[in-house]
Amino acid sequence: MPSDALAYVREHNVRFLDELKSLLRIPSVSTLPEHAGDCRKAAEFLAAELRRIGMENVRLIETGGHPLVYADWLHAEGKPTMLAYGHYDVQPPDPLDEWLSPPFEPTERNGNIYARGAVDDKGQVYMHVKAFEALLATTGKLPVNVRVIIEGEEEVGGEGIANFVASNPPELKADFALVSDTEMFAPDLPTLCVGLRGMIYTELEVRGAKTDLHSGVYGGAAPNPFFALALILSQLKDENGHILIPGFYDGIIPPSAEELKAWESLPFDEENYRIHEVGASELVGEPGYSVLERTWARPTLEVHGMPGGFIGAGAKTVIPARAVAKVSMRLVPGMTPQRSYDLYQKYVKHLIPAGVEVETRLIHSGEACLIPVDNPYIQAATHALYEVWGKETVFIRSGGSIPIVGDFDRHLGLPCVMMGFGLPDDNLHAPNEKFNLKNFFLGIEALVRFFEEAGKIEPASKG
């Protein structure tokens, strides 16, 4: 029984949280070049901690971008080997004036810790580290062999780790993967995530005149790139949320009748979701599909921002020479990023109005994934969650993307356990991101129990 390790977790709760706060103070925003040094600092912080608790072969692995953190402990002979994944990079914190406490000054409030990265994903990465620490400190060993791989580019598509994984290095040889970067369906409802959407993130750049122009002097004769963009964007998706790119939906694999039935029995209240999670006067999207189907199992297309022109206070009368729209599409099983991008690019070419040029760029992409639940590692996980929360686990999908999870399956053939401890109101990517402290502490206990359970499994390949 892992009781000593569990007691250790309870005894050291306060220190664990203090350490997490130090990690959260590092503004490791992967998309902003001025924070590259902070990304490295976060990587070094985790490497130092992994070393301190007794993990071995701890090192940073350089990529073209932010470094990977690697560590292992491989002395559980005859036991399965786990690849524990997470990411130390975070999303930009803006809009800053909407945070009740500053994004990189972690603050405790009503049972939560508030900071950018609290739940996505530093808090959850740190839970892995603390579960390893509790076991190593109390038993001198781990119940399974462990390899840790933590990336710093998840929020920007994960190119570095994708290249590393594709090269199938010995460092990633394992029997299963553990990812804690997802959410529980509801508070106190043990949850495993078994499907993620894929995505392509693109930019459309429209160029009109050779330079910005006086809109009074030239308006009526010069093309306006923003208006051209608006025309293009308005033809990508109709008012029912249906994507108009020809062929885009071809080949989609819908959820099974069994899965759909299971979703229907999840505790989901659409009106509560509309008011408290979304906060809009009405929900939108494809008629004939439930909210869970629309967000988990249907592709979508979104516009994230349209840089260009005049955005200062007041008024400036200008026809901008160029305008950009950041457009992404979420993909579901049966779709591939390459095919989806080709169809999109081809369609956009037909939509270009007179007087402008359009350049389409692919910023990053990732495949959707769907994980079969009939494997012993998933069972071990549900067992561990039951011991902590006393309830049967629900299997859900998520509309979000974690590009590398599909690659673990495709390149490494690893079954993946997505055991995440976020909550639906954690404000991921938004102001006032938080992590529920009860989930942080109980989640560490669940991880300890999961490692113990996984240690009872006979690995398919020994070593």
- Write out the residues near Mn ion by the rule CB under 5 A: 120-121, 181
Report the residue count for the chain.
Answer: 463
Question: 10 Å Cβ neighbour count for 365?
Answer: 24
Listed ranges 125-133, 153-161, 210-218, 441-449: which one lies at the site for ligand BES (CB under 6 A): 153-161
Pick from 154, 407, 445, 452: which binds ligand BES (CB under 6 A)? 154
Site for ligand BES in 419-438 (CB under 6 A): 428
Buried/exposed 157-195: b ≥16 CB within 10 Å, e otherwise: bbbbbbebbeeeeebbbbbbbbbbbbbbbeeebbbbbbb
First to last CA, the chain: 24
The tokens for 31 are: 């998309």
Site for ligand BES in 356-385 (CB under 6 A): 364, 366
Kind plus residue range of the DSSP H or E element containing 328: strand 322-331
Binding-site partner at residue 401 among ligand BES, Mn ion, none, CB < 5 to 8 Å by type:
ligand BES
Distance in Å, CB of 403 to Mn ion, minimum: 11
Distance in Å, CB of 460 to ligand BES, minimum: 28
Q: Which is nearer to ligand BES, 191 or 382 (CB)?
A: 191
Q: What are the Cα distances from residue 395, in Å, to 85, 218, 425?
A: 20, 59, 19
Binding-site partner at residue 398 among ligand BES, Mn ion, none, CB < 5 to 8 Å by type:
ligand BES
Please report whether residue 124 would count as binding ligand BES according to CB under 6 A: no
Q: Which of 294, 201, 203, 306 is nearest to 242 (CA)?
A: 294
Distance in Å, CB of 92 to ligand BES, minimum: 12
Q: Which is nearer to ligand BES, 16 or 85 (CB)?
A: 85
Distance in Å, CB of 347 to ligand BES, minimum: 22
Pairing assessment for the beta strands 357-366 and 394-398 based on DSSP bridges: unpaired
Please report whether residue 103 would count as binding ligand BES according to CB under 6 A: no
Binding-site partner at residue 199 among ligand BES, Mn ion, none, CB < 5 to 8 Å by type:
ligand BES
Listed ranges 99-107, 131-139, 141-149, 150-158: which one lies at the site for ligand BES (CB under 6 A): 150-158
- Residue 44 is given by DSSP the state H
Please report whether residue 398 would count as binding ligand BES according to CB under 6 A: yes
Size of the site for ligand BES (CB under 6 A): 17
The tokens for 112 are: 């939560």
Q: What are the Cα distances from residue 344, in Å, to 42, 207, 460?
A: 37, 19, 42
Pattern 55-74, binding to ligand BES, x per CB under 6 A?
A: --------------------
Pick from 117, 225, 403, 455: which binds ligand BES (CB under 6 A)? 403
- Residue 237 is given by DSSP the state B
Give one DSSP letter per residue of 52-78, joined into a string. HTT-EEEEEE--SSSPEEEEEE---TT
Quote the CA–CA distance of 445 and 17 in Å, as a whole number.
14
Kindly tell me the sign of the dihedral angle through the C-alpha atoms of 244, 342, 164, 62: negative
Pick from 155, 259, 293, 407: which binds ligand BES (CB under 6 A)? 155
Listed ranges 46-54, 72-80, 149-157, 209-217: which one lies at the site for ligand BES (CB under 6 A): 149-157
Pick from 149, 184, 199, 323: which binds ligand BES (CB under 6 A)? 199
The footprint of ligand BES (CB under 6 A) covers: 120-121, 154-155, 157, 181-183, 199, 364, 366, 398, 400-403, 428
